[in-house]
A and B are shown apart, each in its own frame.
Chain A
Amino acid sequence: MEVIAKPKGGNIDKMAEKVFMESINLLGGLKKLVEYRNLTWLPSLAEAAYVIVLKNEAFKTYGEIAKELGITEQTARNVATADEEKVKEYIEGRLEEKPNEHIAGGIAKLAYRKLKEEGRLEEEEVVIRHDEIEVLGIDWAVHVLVRIKGLDFPVGKEQLAERLEGMVIKGKNVEEILDKLEYPVKSPAELLHKIKLSLEE
């Protein structure tokens, strides 16, 4: 009698990653995000992608999602209940005022729906346009986010050095970059922003 005691197959992390990448594509690609100086949306978008996948694929409650992602239940709820159509109108410029919705949540929901409708969420391979990102020279942001997954903010230099060890960002060793930052770093968004400013110096 064979006993299977651990999950096999599907992967919530990969699905969240797909929703995240599709969200970026919906926004016109990372390049557009950079042009509009919206790179700090990335952590929020990553968070929203996880919320949507955990809610719709893993059937987690808001409380469970909040605990898993280290966010408040209200944030999880705002993400999952965002009116994606209104957000769509807003990002397409058809809405003059910013809607009262969770923007990243609405985008992640649009991306999730698209992937689901096209049957791409369940596909084995992860379609990440690494080449495109690398050509744009902004792949480091995604890599940094992957490395700091699960880290409790605020964080100090030592914790970051441990996680980001060995990374080279735009030709600079990450240790060199970390030396120049101010600590503690309050959030993933602040970390990306500070690294970006340091690269521009």
Chain B
Amino acid sequence: MARYYELRELESKAPKLFGIPTGTKLDEMFFKIEEEDGKFVKKPLGGLPYLSIMNLTGVPDSGKSVLAEQFAVTQANAGYRVLFVTVESPANFLYTALKHKSEAMGADFSKVEENIVVIDASESDELRENPKALLDTMAYAIREKKVTNVIIDSITGLYEHKEMMARQIVRQFFNFLKKWRQTGIFVSQKRSAQASESAEAAGGLAVAHIVDGTIVLDKKLVETRWDVSLYGLPIGSVLRTIRIDGCRLCGHDSRTWVFEITEFGTIDIIAPLSEFIKRRGRIGEEKQEKIEEVE
């Protein structure tokens, strides 16, 4: 039977607002407002909001999986259990990626190994095609392994040939993680036809409208003299950006930031794009002038 709540009844059920670290600068980009000496001050949350389900989206090779894996290693290394549902990459490849990341991040791999549970939906049609079977399997893993964080890479892979059902499927997984009190990341893929800096993912607005917040990753190929001069990067190089597109649980930095995927395969968020341009643009202009002098 449907019931209603008095607002005060919800107080005991309301989740506390604190951060679940990702091991990247993103942790400082979510914040809450607190009163100190009669003044309101911004305080970094220190991670993704606790019990939030964040959508991590971007075009291919923009670094979504890298970020998701970094989050998994950070949490597992801190002693929290992580459930990693791999839909794209078979579990053995994920193992290698997590091992390398652990080494690069200076994490204790034996701890990481112990605290990550993987559901390999990439090679099981039943798990990939049947949301009910996957949800039941996830419930088993969460219950039996005392999981607190869940990553699904990618949620899009669960409805790739039935986009009409995208909202229904995403909603089911969202509600499921809420019910089981998990902090989660849904990696969602974007088609090249969709504006790369937007939050839209395959299946229309399915994911972004249901989840608590979206983080958009993007990459730009430096291909004109204008780009060289603007970004101060050599022609043919790639500029990667990351932006929190929205979060309904807490405040967040809304700027576009530049990041790099290091040679060890980890995310390093460098500076806001505007500052990066100011700093690097000057170098770019100098380089450009030299090129023109030579020509």
Q: Which residues of A contact B (CB under 8 A)?
A: 1-10, 12, 57-61, 64
Q: Which residues of B contact A (CB under 8 A)?
A: 91, 95, 98, 112-114, 116-120, 123-124, 126-127, 129-137, 139-141, 145, 159, 162, 165, 168-169
CB distance from B152 to the nearest CB of A (A): 14
Known: A4-B141, A58-B130, A59-B162. A10 touches B135 (CB 8 A): yes
A7 adjacent to B133 (CB under 8 Å): yes
B130 adjacent to A7 (CB under 8 Å): yes
CB contacts (< 8 Å) of B139 on chain A: these are 9
Q: Is the interface of B mostly helix, strand, loop or mixed?
A: helix
Q: Is the interface of A mostly helix, strand, loop or mixed?
A: loop
22 contacts between A and B (CB under 8 A): A1-B98, A2-B145, A4-B117, A4-B118, A4-B119, A4-B137, A4-B141, A5-B119, A7-B134, A7-B137, A8-B136, A8-B140, A8-B141, A9-B133, A9-B135, A9-B139, A10-B135, A12-B133, A58-B131, A59-B131, A60-B129, A61-B162
A8 adjacent to B137 (CB under 8 Å): yes
B120 adjacent to A3 (CB under 8 Å): yes
CB contacts (< 8 Å) of A10 on chain B: these are 132-133, 135-136
CB contacts (< 8 Å) of B119 on chain A: these are 3-5
CB distance from B151 to the nearest CB of A (A): 13
CB contacts (< 8 Å) of A57 on chain B: these are 132
CB contacts (< 8 Å) of A7 on chain B: these are 124, 126-127, 130, 133-134, 136-137
Which of chain A's residues has its CB closest to B172's CB?
A: A59
CA separation between A6 and B132, bound complex, in Å?
A: 13
B133 adjacent to A4 (CB under 8 Å): no
CB contacts (< 8 Å) of B112 on chain A: these are 1
CB distance from A115 to the nearest CB of B (A): 14
CB contacts (< 8 Å) of A2 on chain B: these are 117-118, 145
- Most chain A C-beta atoms within 10 Å of own C-beta, residue among B133, B134, B140: B133
Which of chain A's residues has its CB closest to B99's CB?
A: A1
CB distance from A165 to the nearest CB of B (A): 29
Which of chain A's residues has its CB closest to B119's CB?
A: A4
Which of chain A's residues has its CB closest to B130's CB?
A: A58
Contact of B130 among A3, A4, A59, A61 (CB under 8 A): A59
Which of chain B's residues has its CB closest to A56's CB?
A: B132
B91 adjacent to A3 (CB under 8 Å): yes
CB contacts (< 8 Å) of B129 on chain A: these are 58, 60, 64
